[in-house]
Amino acid sequence: MTLRLACADFTFPLLTHDQSLRLIAMLGFEGVDIGLFEGRSHLWPSREFEDLPRSASQLRRKASDLGLEVADVFLQLAPDFRPCAINHPEAARRQEARDAFLKALDYASGCNCRHVTILPGVHFDEEAHDASLGRSVEELAWRVAHAERRGIVLGTEAHVGSIASDPAAAERLVRSVPGLTLTLDYTHFTRAGLADSAIEPLLSFAGHFHVRGARPGRLQAAFKDNVIDYRRVIERMGEIGYPGWVGVEYVWTDWEHCNECDNLSETILFRDFLRSVADQPADHTPGEKESR
């Protein structure tokens, strides 16, 4: 299949953002996933949105000059999931999140990016799970409607600690919101010990996809320790006509032991592996070792 490979700009936080973009281009990626993570990425929403047209135009120009497309804009409004969750019980907090989301859509449009990722919200312990879930559905539906008006695909990442922390909950959520897609990352489920077969049905709902190594108990692991069968993932993508980018997404943070990998080397190993899989004939049958 034709594979469009991207790399996350937040994979290399010790570089400047310009250096990170240049490195991603030097590594031969076609696209870049942009992290708008308040307080913990190169580009913070609070800073980028001060002069949004200028910031978006500047990013579009930098990426284009390097031969990169902006594949995804991933919006997170706080380092912790709860304070700015889209389904926060306080109406004022939800409105702030809505306002920021509309700015993220404008920002993505200004970068010529047609995909935005957000988090799905969390379960607030002081209320029933269905109450938290109901607000997530309502808020996601509102966001899908606004994204569609701009020709942007909205994806949500089912993740550790979210309202959709397992495959069944993720499927329930996306089926509840027409037009919503998943920014699918197997590693959040692999960490919990789930087999690929339990996660694979979610590929049908994916509009963007994250790749990195993982194993039970570890959200992020080296290529050599990875247990996810990404060969099967890519082959299945070809079978179902997956339309989106595949983003290699190593992160470097002490959260979930994610500062224990050599991000540059692991990114290169996965880049080369994914390319080799995409170049294989459809009837290629891998051995057990190379399928890992």
Could you tell me which residues are beta bridge partners of residue 31? 6, 69
Assessment of whether the complete model's pTM goes beyond 0.85: yes
Q: Are 120 and 163 in contact (CB under 8 A)?
A: yes
- Look at residue 287 in the predicted model and tell me its pLDDT: 37
What's the DSSP call for residue 19? H
- Look at residue 279 in the predicted model and tell me its pLDDT: 87
- Look at residue 103 in the predicted model and tell me its pLDDT: 98
- Look at residue 280 in the predicted model and tell me its pLDDT: 81
92: Cβ contacts below 8 Å, ≥ 6 apart:
none
Nearest CA to 117 out of 44, 184, 204, 199 is that of 184
252: Cβ contacts below 8 Å, ≥ 6 apart:
11, 12, 13, 14, 258, 259, 261, 263
- Look at residue 283 in the predicted model and tell me its pLDDT: 56
- Look at residue 282 in the predicted model and tell me its pLDDT: 59
- Look at residue 256 in the predicted model and tell me its pLDDT: 72
- Look at residue 285 in the predicted model and tell me its pLDDT: 41
Q: Show contacts of 261-270: CB within 8 Å, 24+ apart.
A: 261/213, 261/220, 261/221, 261/222, 262/222, 263/11, 263/12, 264/12, 264/23, 266/212, 266/213, 266/222, 266/223, 267/7, 267/11, 267/27, 268/27, 269/223, 270/211, 270/212, 270/213, 270/223, 270/230
- CATH code of 5-279, in short, is 3.20.20.150
Q: Which residues of the chain have pLDDT under 50?
A: 284-292
- HSE of 247, CA atoms in CB hemisphere, 13 A: 32
Domain boundaries, the chain: 5-279
In Å, how far from its chain's centre is CA 267? 15
Residues shown for the chain: 292
In degrees and rounded to multiples of 5, residue 229 shows phi and psi of -85, 80
- Look at residue 260 in the predicted model and tell me its pLDDT: 85
Per-residue pLDDT tens over the stretch 29-81: 999 999 999 999 999 999 999 999 999 999 999 999 999 999 999 999 998 88
Q: Are 17 and 9 in contact (CB under 8 A)?
A: yes
